[in-house]
Amino acid sequence: FRFHICDNTVPSSQHIRHGRPFWTPRRHLLHMTWCYRPKWLWEYDHEDLKWDVVAGITVAAMVIPQGMAYGTLAGLPPVYGLYTAFVPLIMYALLGTSRHLSTGPVAIVSMMVRETAMVLGSGDLPDAKVDVALQLGLWCGVVLLLLGLLGLGRLVDFLAEGVVGGFVTGAAVLIALSQMKGALAIQADTTGPLHKVIYNVAHGLWHAGPNTLWTGLFTLWALMVLVGCRYTRLLQTTPWIPHRFLVVVAATVATWIWELHDTAGIVISGHVSAGLPEFALPRISGYRVMLPRAFLVAGVAFIESIAIAQKFATENCYKVDASQELITLGVGNLLGCCFGAYPSTGSLSRTAINEKSGGRTQLSSLITAAVVGLTLLFFTGCIYYVPTCVLSAVVIEAVIGLLDFRQVKMTWNVRPVDATVWVAAFAGTLFAGVEEGILLGVGDSLLGVAIYGPRAL
């Protein structure tokens, strides 16, 4: 945001364009106002409008099926994924410093929300899980906002890359396995460490019914199409084609025409209430238990978001402010939880699509939010026949891109002690849990700094 101290004279366009505070020495300062608008709005070039519109609609076609899938991954009704892609996205467009970052629901944070809801929620009651998810969003917003106001955004520079890489890769494996319940229509608890999930999935397959075969084949078809589209030359040259959206639409139409939910036992999303989310303050309780988890979720959300923002800022020759990003994510989560959103952060896949589709400014994010809002208002009836197994396939295909074992190999060749941080975070996430994996990786990195000095990691 730009702040200008101004009197009753009209500032020159040069002052506004370059954002320099101006002072008119006319006798004395007659009147002082704080005028604030987003920086990109002051400098907006109308030639960018067509590119922002195309990019915004393209990202919307991607975030609608992804949001529903991530809402299911978080253990909530699918519509809460769309709520998370609405208000936080608007707030980032108004306050954020990255031109391309697309915020909303992501796989890693959704999994952390689900685990928190399983621990602190009252059993399998949907309303209890929703309360926990919204309350977690509230406290994440508070933590991020306070860190941003204290100017602590630069602390991310001291975090070893191996912590993030190992955690994300381990979490991606757990996320893919957690989708086996919906992808195969089996009764299994797919939360917890790796060995527990594998045992529960195998036990569920052993006692599976006939619906598992048809659901598995439907999931396999969707996954083959999605993975094939990811690596085809056509989509690499034309990334604006919304292949995930088209796959979900095709599966939904097939389910509706042939009534696969009755004939083959395909589980569908069911009724979704139409309309934008209503304003409601989340219920606050058990903050002593919630705050430690909120710190972990907020830390992961910020690290993931700032890494993506800095990557695309470097490629497109502009800068982002880490502390302002903290404030923006904090405000987005604080307001978002009042409109049904669970914790949100930047998405690598949607940001890449936004940039490759020609997005120039944050206006593309506002257009994406507008399309999501129109979907909530007028097209929720179309969500009724969306197969949940296809949403599971969308999640599995999305987390494939998070698997990165090359980092530990390259790091091992350069400095083996740095690779131990990646291995510690990866193994801790897989066999102990998400929170334990983060803490183990951070502890290993701090130990490396204590032994080898601050330049070791």
Give dist(CA 143, CA 54) in Å, integer: 35
Under DSSP, the state recorded for 319 is -
pLDDT in tens, 277-320: 999 999 888 788 899 999 999 999 998 899 899 889 988 999 99
Instruction: Give the SS3 label for residue 5.
Output: strand
Proportion of the chain above pLDDT 70, given as a percent: 87
Report whether pLDDT(93) > 90. yes
Given the structure tokens 């944050």, which residue do they identify?
Answer: 362
Give dist(CA 76, CA 102) in Å, integer: 22
Assess if residue 5 is contained within a domain. Answer: no
Contact in structure between 189 and 210 (CB atoms under 8 Å): no
Which range among 155-164, 238-247, 404-413 shows the weakest confidence by mean pLDDT? 155-164
Domain range for 220: 47-275+289-452
Residue 433: both structure tokens together: 């849990």
Under DSSP, the state recorded for 425 is H
Give dist(CA 440, CA 167) in Å, integer: 10
Residue 15: both structure tokens together: 């002052």
pLDDT of residue 453: 63
Give dist(CA 211, CA 284) in Å, integer: 41
Contact in structure between 169 and 404 (CB atoms under 8 Å): yes
| Amino acid identity at 22 | F
Q: Work out the end-to-end distance of the chain between its first and last CA atoms, rounded to an integer number of angstroms.
A: 34
Report whether pLDDT(164) > 50. yes
Assess if residue 32 is contained within a domain. Answer: no
Under DSSP, the state recorded for 6 is E
Assess if residue 4 is contained within a domain. Answer: no
Give dist(CA 269, CA 386) in Å, integer: 6
The total number of structural domains in the chain stands at: 1
pTM summary value = 0.84
Assess if residue 435 is contained within a domain. Answer: yes
Assess if residue 24 is contained within a domain. Answer: no
Assess if residue 434 is contained within a domain. Answer: yes
| Amino acid identity at 413 | N
The chain-wide mean pLDDT, for the chain, equals: 85
Handedness of CA 427, 429, 430, 433 (dihedral sign): positive
pLDDT in tens, 253-281: 999 999 999 988 899 988 888 899 999 99
Contact in structure between 422 and 185 (CB atoms under 8 Å): no
Assess if residue 345 is contained within a domain. Answer: yes
Contact in structure between 54 and 368 (CB atoms under 8 Å): no
- Angle made by CA atoms 238, 393, 423, in degrees to the nearest 5: 95
Assess if residue 317 is contained within a domain. Answer: yes
- Angle made by CA atoms 322, 353, 60, in degrees to the nearest 5: 100
Give dist(CA 137, CA 343) in Å, integer: 4
